[in-house]
């Protein structure tokens, strides 16, 4: 598990497992209260080493509860679905652009997409198409 702040300085905890080819994030959420403890900054090299040993021990001793476990397969499936949706959206945008260049009306394109022509123009149109 990794604990760190995002750009808005909100502390997050991120669970990572080793995937087949790369690390896989299995959960990311706002850090729980137990991670909001105040630590005194080390002052000497020995203090830094002692602190590193303490953190290593805490990391090694940490055992997530069953409630904290997530099925990495679900994450993988969701990520693949999101990537497929992005690819499909890119294909639709390209097809709409070609259709407009070929003279298809926004009304016709909207009917194929399942929206009104105006909704299709707002979503896929460019300023010159308005």
Instruction: Tell me the pLDDT tens digit for each residue of 65-101.
Output: 888 788 889 989 999 999 999 999 999 999 999 999 9
Residues 30 and 87 placed together within one structural domain of the fold: no
Number of domains in the chain: 2
Is the dihedral angle over the CA atoms 94, 96, 97, 98 positive or is it negative?
positive
User: What pTM was estimated for this model as a whole?
Assistant: 0.46
**Which residue matches tokens 């602190």?**
51
Q: Using CA atoms, how far apart are residues 24 and 126, in angstroms rounded to an integer? A: 37
Query: Which of 36, 53, 70 is a domain's end point?
Result: 70
pLDDT score recorded for residue 38: 56
Q: Provide CB contacts within 8 A for 10, sequence distance 6+.
A: 30
Task: Note down the domain range covering 27.
Answer: 2-70
- Do 111 and 61 belong to one domain? no
Q: Do residues 65 and 97 both lie within one domain?
A: no
- Asked if 116 and 110 count as a contact pair (C-beta separation under 8 A), the reply is yes
What span, in angstroms and rounded, lies between the C-alpha atoms of 13 and 1? 7
Domain C-terminal end among 70, 92, 113: 70
């Amino acid at each position: 598990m990794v604990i760190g702040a995002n750009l808005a300085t909100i502390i997050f905890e991120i669970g990572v497992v080793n995937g087949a080819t790369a690390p896989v994030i299995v959960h990311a959420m706002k850090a729980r209260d137990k991670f909001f403890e105040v630590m005194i900054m080390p002052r000497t090299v020995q203090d830094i080493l002692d602190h590193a040993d303490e953190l290593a021990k805490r990391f090694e001793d940490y055992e997530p509860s069953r409630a904290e476990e997530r099925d990495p397969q679900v994450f993988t499936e969701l990520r693949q679905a999101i990537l497929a949706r992005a690819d499909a959206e890119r294909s639709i945008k390209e097809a709409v652009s070609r259709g407009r260049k070929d003279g298809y009306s926004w009304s016709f394109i909207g009917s194929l997409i399942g929206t009104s022509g105006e909704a299709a123009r707002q979503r896929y149109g460019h300023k010159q198409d308005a």
